[in-house]
Amino acid sequence: MEGQRTCYPPLRRVLVSGGTHGNELGGVYVVRHGAPCLSVSSVCVQTVVTEPVLSGQSGLSVSSVCVQTVVTEPVLSGQSADSPYEVRRALELNQIFGPKGSDQAVDFICDLHNTTANTQACLICDSQSDYLSLHAARYLQSLSKQPCRILLMKRNTPSFSFMSIGKHNMTIEMGPQPPGVIRADVYSKTLRLLQCLLDWIELFNTGAVIPAGSVQCFEVDQKIDYPRDSDGQLTACIHPQLQDRDFEPLNPEDPIFQPFSGGDPLVFGGEETVYPVFVNECAYYSKGIAFWTTKKITISLPAITVTQK
């Protein structure tokens, strides 16, 4: 993409959100205490706890929170006073910060999450065609002194997440941190990444040309479930050789599950090396996911700059 340049309007409204999954407290406390102290001159930074009612319920599972699945046309047109709280809250957020797909929607949403998996700092982007968000993620990655990977959602998959309300978006996912817990190191790392993101947005808004380059991403591929019996109960757990090895190579015939009954471990049946992510995430047990496999890809990014009036 040498010589190409893509222009985007300035990012004037930036939303920092936490608590989309009510029991992930890192984002909740960054939004309540850290983010309001962050500012850049060219940006109006707004904050929101997306699930204020549920964020204090440490026993809440992710599967019971519906905000991420209701920003869709059928639900938007079918709300009523009897709709579940999560549905009504999602519609309220879409009205305040959207509507999704409109010119009035916020320019950039940064949604803060935690995971029980050993992801360390993980930056999640929805689309490989959103060069602005990928450039921002690349910048954060370049400044990080610790592992910081970019996770790309599966291509050609519609996004119904809360952050898809914004014109551009990024999730900062930090792990490991148990649900209902706030760790000082996770809090500090999240706040540091958020400040770096706002600094990059300020640089972009001033008219600087962000040079072309390439970025390594892990693209979501397939979900792998635990072995289960006829009643749906687990018959094995994550093998010690896989536990805490998010983003590390997983080769064919590598052990992935350790049967409760003893015997030989169950091995990965894929035909090529993949990179597992969200290994043994507690919220995924009920979703039938032991981990996701990803493929390592490199994306070429054109130079970008702000649209000149």
Strands 303-306 and 44-49: unpaired
Give the count of beta carbons closer than 10 Å to the beta carbon of residue 233.
10
169 vs 108: CA distance, rounded Å: 5
Alpha helices in the chain (DSSP H): 25-29, 73-76, 85-97, 131-143, 184-205
Q: Is 24 annotated as a binding residue?
A: yes
How far lies 103's CA from each of 106, 107, 130, in Å? 8, 9, 17
Task: Show the tokens assigned to 66.
Answer: 């519906």
Q: Is 21 annotated as a binding residue?
A: yes
Select from 238, 241, 240, 214 the least CA-distant residue to 227. 238
DSSP string, 50-81: S-TTTTT-TT--GGG--GGG--SHHHHTS--T
Strands 213-224 and 291-301: antiparallel
Select from 223, 291, 294, 232 the least CA-distant residue to 257. 291
> 44, 13 in Cβ contact below 8 A?
yes
What are the beta bridge partners of residue 5?
A: 303
Select from 107, 111, 131, 132 the least CA-distant residue to 123. 111
Alpha helices in 144-286 (DSSP H): 184-205
Which sequence positions are flagged as catalytic?
173
Q: Which residues are annotated as a binding site for Zn(2+)?
A: 21, 24, 113
